Amino acid sequence: MLKGKKVISFCLTRIQDSFTKDIIEQLHRIVKERGHILLVYATSSNLYWNSDTEKGEASVYDLVDMSVTDLLIVFSEKIDTKFFAQRVTERAKKAGVPVIILGEPTEGCANVRYDYVEGFKDVVRHVIGGHGIRDVHLMGGVKDNPFSKERVDAFGDVLAEYGIEFDRDKMVSYGEFWSMPTEAACEELLKRDKLPRALVCCNDTMGITAVNFFKRRGIKVPDDIVVTGFDGIKEINFCDPKLTSSMCSPAELAKAVDSLAEDIFGGRDCKGTEVLVRPTLLTSESCGCEYKGGIVLTDYINDLDNTFYRFQEEYRGLNEITTRILKCADFDEASALILKYNDAIYDVDCILNKSCFDESADQMRYVSEKPFDDERTCFFSTDYNHKKPFVLQNGEYAPGFEKLIEGGMPVIFIALHLLSRPLGYLCFHYWNYDIQNYIKIPQLKSCISNAVASFINMRYQHYISLRIEEIYKTDTLTGLLNRNGFFREYTTLVAGRKKDERISLAIADLDGLKYINDNYGHDEGDYAIHAAAQALKKAVPKDAVCARFGGDEIIAVYTENVSEMSVSERFEHIIENINSASMKPYRISASIGIHTDSTTAISRFEELLKKADKLMYAQKKLHHEKMNNN
């Protein structure tokens, strides 16, 4: 529950379809009246191919929070890869959340589905019983498709009701649910001695195709042949004559779901309950009946034109985002850029995983236990006046989420992803049921996914470039610069120094490194080199250029006016502290030489090094004599 209201989570596909919009609208109107909350988790594809991209889309179902969900509805009939529906269903079962499946019955769940068999039988009965036609032919779908086989069997059952013998070989053709095979099948019918008096098609696409085919051949519909379809798509209202069909009503499906949901909320165990919703017969001109539809062709075409031109204009703007975002320096600037396109992007929040802000994370190889991080960041919000991304509070889906769910409209979640890798999600909260908004959701999702993925990858590539440069100029043992890195930094130091600044060069070299290597191993020798390097780095001024010049030879160059004695004493003091703390069976000793010069040319570096090296070897000689005396 949220805010004392029951939460219904609804998982479906193809958010841009008018049927999807209608079922969301019809269900939400009822849910709202009941005082419940409807959260919609949707994709733009039907998840047929189970590709990496579709896996990324389907990750939105992982966003369903079972701890606040009181009822899960899964429109499994529209989810072509059943694994995605099964996965979210199993999560709900484990959490003890009741599930209503819209589609084929699932064990342990309540079920609501369209009774396609009886709906199709009603069409066949209307042709035979309503019009007295006994010479009927069936245009099936794909031969082995379960929906097609189901309707072929239903056709045969109605023939039996009227005492008509069913010869499958002669009375069934296959149009494979689309136009070209249907035209080929109609062509074969024309080759027969006699055209059947009625052609019953298993879907509207084949029915419309058949009407147009016969018209082109001078065959009148319905005078010469009656044609019917099935599904009730909008296009049946625009063919000539208008097609008789059967409509699967979103309103009736919503009512059936609501009735079952209220039984569940009332404490009834509805597992195994099955509710069938019978499609509505739509008689029209193609069978000789009167058209009773209310769709005006000119209005419909005008809506299509508006959709098309709006899409073109918004696509231009959204495409700019995916290119201009690559010029942004950081996420703050990228967020501000996207919000400038408020004519196309509105009523939406963009939430990203925390990992998206880590420029060192390769999103293509990033491994996480959960598709969505517990800590999420609002990248941008069209309803909140913020200047940069901000972290959401624990458990919050979007900024001001409580106000959104109280706003009276459904909240729709769509996953953002890079192939199969979830990056975050979009939270839409439109203030009306305008189909134009639903149509543009896939366009927005694609644009923002591409923009965010491109920006993240650009930042990662920049990070890799810096790391490569760092590796190129850094000594891996000590963490100081190597020779290549040193000379680049030394050049910059000399070029940027003031006229009155002198240059100092300190060089340190370990005493007795061979002894440590021979007696304690090279790992201990490496430890001694690293310790001496860190000691010199801490002893010299912070802006000094430090490098491992080779072997155990460490140098530092700086322009700050500090005495050679203070640096040398600090270096020796740090070495002693390391010895005291390390408890090693040997003592680290190092000699240091420092020379300060007014060098004005980089070409005199070797001379500067030679002078410091001479001083270092003088100290090394003293150290050696002291050890011999002891």
pLDDT tens sequence across 554-566: 999 999 889 999 9
DSSP letter at 231 equals B
Neighbour count for residue 2 (Cβ, 10 Å): 19
| Strands 136-140 vs 545-550: parallel, antiparallel or unpaired | unpaired
pLDDT band with cut points at 50, 70 and 90 for residue 309: low
Sheet (strand 553-558) strand order: 545-550, 553-558, 503-511, 589-597
**Strand, helix or coil for residue 41:** strand
- CA dist 258 and 277 (Å) reads 13
pLDDT tens sequence across 353-410: 988 888 877 777 766 678 888 889 999 998 887 778 999 877 788 888 888 887 778 9
- CA dist 482 and 374 (Å) reads 42
Burial environment of residue 312 by CB neighbours within 10 A (0 to 12, 13 to 18, 19 or more): exposed
Section 182-200 average pLDDT: 96
Has this prediction a pTM greater than 0.85? no
Give the pLDDT confidence score for residue 408 in this predicted structure: 78
116-248+281-295: CATH, from 3.40.50.2300, 3.30.2320.30, 3.90.1200.10, 3.30.390.30: 3.40.50.2300
- CA dist 106 and 90 (Å) reads 11
Tell me the Cα Rg of the chain. Answer: 38
When mean pLDDT is compared across 25-29, 275-279, 318-322, 610-614, the lowest value belongs to 318-322
Section 538-551 average pLDDT: 93
Give the pLDDT confidence score for residue 627 in this predicted structure: 76
Section 258-267 average pLDDT: 94
At the second CATH level, the architecture of 483-629 is 2-Layer Sandwich (3.30)
Using alpha carbons, list the distances in angstroms from residue 217 to 28, 187, 214, 288, 320.
47, 10, 5, 19, 49
Which residue is listed with tokens 């034109």?
A: 305
Of the candidates 462, 349, 364, 382, the one whose C-alpha atom is nearest the C-alpha of residue 420 is 364
Helix 297-324 crosses helix 331-339 at what angle (to 10 degrees)? 160
Give the pLDDT confidence score for residue 597 in this predicted structure: 83
DSSP letter at 392 equals P
Instruction: With a cut of 60, say whether residue 185 has pLDDT above it.
Output: yes
Which H, E and C letters describe 458-513, residue by residue? Answer: HHHHHHHHHHHHHHHHECCCCCCECHHHHHHHHHHHHHHCCCCCCEEEEEEEEECH
Helix, strand, coil share (%) of the chain residues, nearest 5: 50, 20, 35
Q: Where are the domains of the chain?
A: 116-248+281-295, 483-629
**What does pLDDT average to over the chain?**
91
pLDDT tens sequence across 15-28: 999 899 999 999 99
Neighbour count for residue 604 (Cβ, 10 Å): 15
Burial environment of residue 603 by CB neighbours within 10 A (0 to 12, 13 to 18, 19 or more): exposed
Residue type, 206: M
pLDDT tens sequence across 72-84: 999 999 999 999 9
| Strands 280-282 vs 245-247: parallel, antiparallel or unpaired | antiparallel
- CA dist 17 and 621 (Å) reads 87
Instruction: With a cut of 50, say whether residue 603 has pLDDT above it.
Output: no
| Structure-model confidence comparison of residues 343 and 151, the more confident one | 151
| Structure-model confidence comparison of residues 343 and 65, the more confident one | 65
Give the pLDDT confidence score for residue 467 in this predicted structure: 85
pLDDT tens sequence across 273-290: 999 999 999 999 999 999
Q: Over pLDDT 70: what percentage of the chain?
A: 98
Give the pLDDT confidence score for residue 396 in this predicted structure: 84
